[in-house]
């Protein structure tokens, strides 16, 4: 994410919460919300109890 090489994101979310040291998107991260990566052209679909979300990255300047 820090190198801005990701243009399309697909997320699969299910009804379960996990924790631990492994993160989905390693790197520095955003110090404030306005510096976060936003998604445009979002689509989503319910797959049973799960949700599939896809979108295209929009990086803040």
- Angle among Cα 52, 27, 7 to the nearest 5 degrees reads 45
What are the structural domain ranges in the chain? 8-19+27-58
pTM: 0.69
Tell me the per-residue pLDDT of 12-36, one tens digit each, with 9 for 90 and over. 999 988 878 877 777 777 778 787 8
Cα–Cα distances (Å) from 17 to 5, 37, 60, in that order, read 28, 22, 29
If DSSP codes are grouped into helix, strand and coil, which group holds residue 53?
Answer: strand
Q: Taking 90 as the threshold, does the pLDDT of residue 10 lie above it? A: yes
Structure tokens that stand for 61 in this block: 């300047």
């Amino acid at each position: 994410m820090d190198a801005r090489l990701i243009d399309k994101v697909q997320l699969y979310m299910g009804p379960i919460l996990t924790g631990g040291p492994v993160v989905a998107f390693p790197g520095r991260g955003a110090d404030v919300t306005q510096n976060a990566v936003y998604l445009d052209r979002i689509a989503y679909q319910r797959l049973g109890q799960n949700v599939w979300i896809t979108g295209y990255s929009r990086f803040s300047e």
